[in-house]
């Protein structure tokens, strides 16, 4: 039988909710995780694939580092392509030795689910959370449906890790909630392909045809992105058209024959681009983390890492409250996280607007973009700023 009481109710079994559950388990704080989808859906949900050093360190400390260290692909930089030229940004030399790891969100989730089911608290899939009540009381209640029955879970704190459209956010009254948003006039067409990458690190390309990104999921699987108009139907892009457009956008003057390794595209999707922040991230006994509180465009690889930073800060705060009764860190949770969130929002906005071709931009705007990219390529200070933000700023709580 699902429990009727717990210390922390976590809504959402994505990376944020699962990592928080593991960190709380290790700190001796009991929790229950409620997830609306089934396990198979959660484990195949394609999202981010770039982990900052701090995220990698947190997964290792949580006990989820064995397969990550065996199968993850360390990256010491990225390549910028613009104006027919290429420039590499070296992370360790510019960011105090920090690097990033390529390891898909699907694999992070699988590792954390396995740990939670092995020795963690209850993890309930196929569970629809209907509402959260009593945010201003000492025992808020989560009302949900599991296996066809309506149930309730009383707890000390509720954490919403249930995404942008989640239910938990609605427990924070609109009168105290502020939202800030920017919607971009383009989307990403994402393609997962059974094709070995012919590049060692991610390639970010600015071109007159639009932005392109070459990434990877493994030595045999490529993850590729193309800037496309909003509302694009993936069916309009057969495999050959995707490969031809990628080759055109990655073209180099010095290597006219450079091409990607081609293979069958196994998945296609269109991802709209938006920046969004909800403030505050806490009201009473209800707290938000990850996409429930903020969205970033994927250009800066910040989404999963921001979610991880949120729950690392929150786990420390909840562990302190549980062991000492002090709410000092919990009271500071929203302000602490939002400082990092807005820094990441700015970096993601910079990467997005510098590399993408706005349909309405002028030739003057394009020259400004190229001037900024040239500065990164020629100024150690500008390159260091990019490297420090990309690899991730320290997590303070």
Catalytic positions, please?
A: 75, 204, 298, 302, 390
Q: Which residues pair with 142 in a beta bridge?
A: 132, 153
Q: Exposed, middle or buried: residue 181 (CB in 10 Å: 0-12, 13-18, 19+)?
A: exposed
Nearest CA among 349, 258, 255 for reference residue 302: 349
Q: Exposed, middle or buried: residue 12 (CB in 10 Å: 0-12, 13-18, 19+)?
A: buried
3-state SS of 279-342 is ECCEECCEEECHHHCEECCHHHCCHHHHHHHHHHHHHHHHHHHHHHCCCHHHHHHHHHHHHHHH
User: How far is Cα 168 from Cα 6, in angstroms, rounded to an integer?
Assistant: 17
Dihedral of alpha carbons 32, 27, 344, 377, sign: negative
Q: Which residues pair with 279 in a beta bridge?
A: 178
CA torsion angle 232 236 240 244 (round to 10): -40
Under the phi-then-psi rule, with left for phi > 0, alpha for psi from -120 to 50, and beta for the rest, what region is 276?
Answer: beta
What is the separation, in whole angstroms, between the first and last Cα of the chain?
Answer: 36
Under the phi-then-psi rule, with left for phi > 0, alpha for psi from -120 to 50, and beta for the rest, what region is 210?
Answer: left
How many residues can be counted in the chain? 397
Distances (CA, A) of 131 to 35, 57, 151: 13, 34, 11
């Amino acid at each position: 039988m699902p429990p009727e009481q717990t210390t922390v109710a976590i809504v959402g079994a994505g990376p944020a909710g699962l990592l928080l559950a593991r960190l709380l388990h290790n700190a001796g704080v009991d929790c229950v995780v409620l997830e609306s989808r089934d396990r198979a859906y959660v484990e195949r949900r394609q999202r981010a694939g770039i982990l900052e050093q701090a995220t990698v360190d947190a997964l290792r400390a949580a006990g989820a580092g064995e397969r990550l260290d065996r199968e993850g692909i360390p990256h010491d930089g990225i390549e910028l392509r613009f104006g027919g030229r290429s420039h590499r940004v070296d992370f360790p030399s510019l960011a105090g030795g920090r690097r990033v790891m390529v390891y898909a969100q699907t694999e992070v989730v699988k590792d954390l689910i396995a740990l939670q089911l092995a020795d963690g608290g209850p993890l309930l899939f196929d569970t629809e959370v209907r509402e959260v009540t009593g945010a201003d009381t000492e025992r808020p209640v989560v009302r949900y449906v599991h296996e066809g029955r309506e149930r309730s879970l009383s707890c000390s704190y509720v954490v919403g890790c249930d995404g942008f459209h989640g239910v938990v956010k609605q427990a924070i009254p609109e009168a105290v909630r502020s939202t800030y948003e920017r919607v971009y006039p383009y989307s990403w067409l994402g393609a997962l392909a059974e094709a070995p990458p012919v590049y060692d690190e991610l390639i970010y390309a600015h071109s007159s045809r639009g932005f392109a990104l070459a990434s990877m999921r493994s030595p045999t699987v490529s993850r590729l992105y193309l800037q496309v108009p909003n509302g694009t139907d993936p069916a309009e892009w057969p495999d050959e058209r995707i490969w031809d457009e990628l080759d055109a956008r990655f073209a180099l003057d010095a290597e006219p024959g450079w091409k990607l390794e081609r293979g069958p595209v196994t998945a296609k999707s269109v991802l709209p681009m938006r920046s969004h922040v909800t403030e505050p991230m806490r009201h009473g006994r209800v707290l938000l983390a990850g996409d429930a509180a903020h969205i970033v465009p994927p250009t800066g690889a910040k989404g999963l890492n921001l979610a991880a930073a949120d729950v690392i800060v929150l786990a420390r705060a909840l562990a302190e409250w549980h062991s000492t009764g002090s709410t000092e860190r919990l009271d500071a949770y929203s302000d602490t996280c939002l400082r990092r969130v807005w820094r990441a929002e700015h970096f993601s906005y910079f990467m997005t607007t510098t590399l993408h071709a706005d349909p309405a931009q002028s030739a003057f705007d394009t020259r400004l973009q190229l001037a900024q990219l040239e500065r990164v390529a020629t100024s150690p200070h500008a390159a260091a700023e990019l490297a420090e933000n990309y690899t991730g700023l320290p997590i303070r709580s």
